[in-house]
Amino acid sequence: MRPDDYVFYRNLQKKYPVVQRAESVYVWDNKGKRYLDGSGGACVVSIGHGVPEILEAMMKQAEQVQFVHSSHFTNEQATKCAAYLCNMMPEKNLNKVYFLSGGSEAVESAVKVVRQYWREAGKPDKYKIISRWSSFHGSTTGALALGGHTARRRHYLPIFPYTPHIEPAYCYRCGFEETQDRCDLQCANQLERSILHEGPDFVAAFIAEPVVGASAGAVVPKDGYWQRIREICDKYNIKLIADEVMTGIGRCGENLCLNNWNIVPDVVVLAKGLSSGYTPFGAIVVKEDIYHTIQRGSGFFVHGHTYSQNPLSTAIGAAVLSYIQKHKLIERSKQMGQYLLDKLQDLNSLDIVGDIRGLGLFAGIELVRDKTTRTWFDSALQINKQIANQAFSRGLITYPGAGGIDGIHGDHILLAPPFIITEKQIDELVEILSSAITAVENQI
Ligand SMILES: Cc1ncc(COP(=O)(O)O)c(C=O)c1O
């Protein structure tokens, strides 16, 4: 066997190029080919690759202490990182941070902390978590069950917990066949109906991505959606969990994406941009009433992961958050995001581009067989992957996806470049993407 035959790859039939190095918005493979990172990997890299300040912070911490277990010690970097993070929250009472190693772990932790809270608050029947179709919350079985992506879920259905789902806020393909002017936010109202069906006394939380990412391609809800969702959660005493793994820490032009609508969740789930990919990292930020109820009750969150709160990851997280603040990168994400969205309008002239949407430096392009009828492609064609492959061969990294419409059908390309991207580089990105889409159009 060759050495790379021992690695269990994501796609078992694909040959991957070998990455050599990365700097700023570019990645190079070992053959010297350069790629523009148009998606920050999987919407991860926000501050850019190879930032010297972060590498220094990493080294400094590694020289002092890399690992101790959170059952034995706390560490200065964890307290520093938590303080940075809480200062970025929209309300002072969102002020307890539990550190983790990634998004799925963080989603599971959010669900568990809410569940334990209700038990300790004297409402042990509250256990159901409502989520949405066409969403993604991670790959561990609990998180996958909450997600609404049929193609990913169907293999594991027998081992999932019970998780009710509601329609997504997907204006381009409204599940209620409404138009923007007639819309009365039926998709949000469906949460109320679902809560009533499930029984408010049995519902613990609603979890959703403020703007849907991996499973549907930057689907932005109509203004008023999140306000209505918050009202419904309050009315029925249900916690709102914002899965900001993709959208948080500036990706959508604000500290949290929900700030775009002035909505404050009860639990925030973060990962990806939290460390900009410099280390596997995640966190939940919890409102203090949840924390205090557990503190005054059993005093112990029945949970724990080996790498939670480790000094090296928290040092990197603190350095990344400090760098973002120092260089005003969230403002930049908003500004460059508008430029990207404007520039992407150039793609409207292409036959298979159906919808272009986004918020901040988080954009999605939905591909259709017919623009007028919005008919989708046969999923077997894997149009999204064909386009991503064409782009990749031309030196552009994108994040393709499918299943936004019903969990199986619907193709999109997700873009989420580092916040430091320039206008010229955005022009380059759109130009390459345009030629990749045209190449696929010419083949079908
Ligand atoms: C919204 C959302 N939540 C959770 C996750 C899971 O994160 P991870 O892959 O770090 O486990 C993802 C990953 O793409 C995501 O997009």
- Beta-carbon contacts of 213 under 8 Å, excluding residues fewer than 6 positions away, are 43, 136, 245, 246, 247, 362, 414
Q: Whose CA is nearest to atom 3 of ligand 1?
A: 137
84/352 Cα distance (integer angstroms): 43
Q: Whose CA is nearest to atom 5 of ligand 1?
A: 138
72, 62 Cβ separation under 8 angstroms: no
Does any ligand 1 atom lie closer than 6 A to the CB of residue 400? Answer: no
Does any ligand 1 atom lie closer than 6 A to the CB of residue 131? Answer: no
In the CATH scheme, what architecture does the domain 54-326 have? 3-Layer(aba) Sandwich (3.40)
Atom of ligand 1 nearest to the CA of 209: 1
pLDDT digits (tens, 9 = 90+) for 382-416: 999 999 999 999 999 999 999 999 999 999 999 99
Interhelix angle 423-443/329-344, rounded to 10 degrees, is: 40
Atom of ligand 1 nearest to the CA of 102: 10
Give residue 179 CA to ligand 1 midpoint distance, Å: 31
Does any ligand 1 atom lie closer than 6 A to the CB of residue 102? Answer: yes
pLDDT band at 299 (very low <50, low <70, confident <90, very high): very high
Domain ranges, ordered by start, for the chain: 3-50+328-443, 54-326
The reported pLDDT for the residue numbered 3 is: 75
CA 177, 229, 214, 166 dihedral sign is negative
The reported pLDDT for the residue numbered 396 is: 98
Q: Does the pLDDT value for residue 195 go beyond 80?
A: yes
Q: Does the pLDDT value for residue 4 go beyond 80?
A: no
**Neighbouring C-beta atoms of residue 331, cutoff 10 Å:** 13
Does any ligand 1 atom lie closer than 6 A to the CB of residue 57? Answer: no
36/387 Cα distance (integer angstroms): 15
pLDDT band at 285 (very low <50, low <70, confident <90, very high): very high
Q: Which fold has domain 3-50+328-443?
A: Aspartate Aminotransferase, domain 1 (3.90.1150)
Does any ligand 1 atom lie closer than 6 A to the CB of residue 257? Answer: no
Residue of 251, 270, 272 to mutate, ligand 1, most atoms within 8 A of C-beta: 272
Q: Whose CA is nearest to atom 12 of ligand 1?
A: 138
Give residue 245 CA to ligand 1 midpoint distance, Å: 6
Does any ligand 1 atom lie closer than 6 A to the CB of residue 243? Answer: yes
Atom of ligand 1 nearest to the CA of 104: 11
Phi, psi (degrees; rounded to nearest 5) at 345: -60, -25
Q: Does the pLDDT value for residue 441 go beyond 90?
A: yes
Does any ligand 1 atom lie closer than 6 A to the CB of residue 275? Answer: no
159, 198 Cβ separation under 8 angstroms: no
Residue of 137, 305, 313 to mutate, ligand 1, most atoms within 8 A of C-beta: 137
Phi, psi (degrees; rounded to nearest 5) at 358: 160, 180
Q: Does the pLDDT value for residue 128 go beyond 90?
A: yes
Does any ligand 1 atom lie closer than 6 A to the CB of residue 305? Answer: no
Q: How many percent of the chain have pLDDT more than 90?
A: 98
pLDDT digits (tens, 9 = 90+) for 54-95: 999 999 999 999 999 999 999 999 999 999 999 999 999 999
Give residue 39 CA to ligand 1 midpoint distance, Å: 14
Task: For the chain, give the secondary structure using H, E and C.
Answer: CCHHHHCCCCCCCCCCCCEEEEEECEEEECCCCEEEECCHHHHCCCCCECCHHHHHHHHHHHHHCCCCCCCCCCCHHHHHHHHHHHHCCCCCCEEEEEEECCHHHHHHHHHHHHHHHHHHCCCCCCCEEEEECCCCCCCCHHHHHHCCCHHHHCCCHHHCCCCCEECCCCHHHCCCCCCCCCCCCHHHHHHHHHHHHHCHHHEEEEEECCCECCCCCCECCCCCHHHHHHHHHHHCCCEEEEECCCCCCCCCCCCCHHHHHCCCCCEEEECHHHCCCCCCCEEEEEEHHHHHHHHHCCCCCCCCCCCCCCHHHHHHHHHHHHHHHHCCHHHHHHHHHHHHHHHHHHHHHCCCEEEEEECCCCEEEEECCECCCCECCCHHHCHHHHHHHHHHHCCEECEEEECCCCCCCCEEEEECCCCCCCHHHHHHHHHHHHHHHHHHHHHC
74/4 Cα distance (integer angstroms): 39
Give residue 136 CA to ligand 1 midpoint distance, Å: 7
Does any ligand 1 atom lie closer than 6 A to the CB of residue 401? Answer: no
Does any ligand 1 atom lie closer than 6 A to the CB of residue 245? Answer: yes
Q: Does the pLDDT value for residue 273 go beyond 80?
A: yes
Does any ligand 1 atom lie closer than 6 A to the CB of residue 103? Answer: yes
pLDDT, average across residues 153-158: 96
pLDDT, average across residues 42-65: 98
Does any ligand 1 atom lie closer than 6 A to the CB of residue 284? Answer: no
pLDDT band at 348 (very low <50, low <70, confident <90, very high): very high
In what side-by-side order are the strands of the sheet with 165-166?
Answer: 94-100, 282-287, 267-270, 239-243, 203-208, 128-132, 165-166
The reported pLDDT for the residue numbered 2 is: 80
pLDDT, average across residues 138-164: 97
Does any ligand 1 atom lie closer than 6 A to the CB of residue 214? Answer: yes
Return mean pLDDT, the chain. 97
Q: Which residue has the tokens 């998709």?
A: 187
Does any ligand 1 atom lie closer than 6 A to the CB of residue 271? Answer: yes
The reported pLDDT for the residue numbered 121 is: 98
Give residue 63 CA to ligand 1 midpoint distance, Å: 31
pLDDT digits (tens, 9 = 90+) for 6-29: 999 999 999 999 999 999 999 999
Asked if the domains at 3-50+328-443 and 54-326 fall in one CATH topology, the answer is no
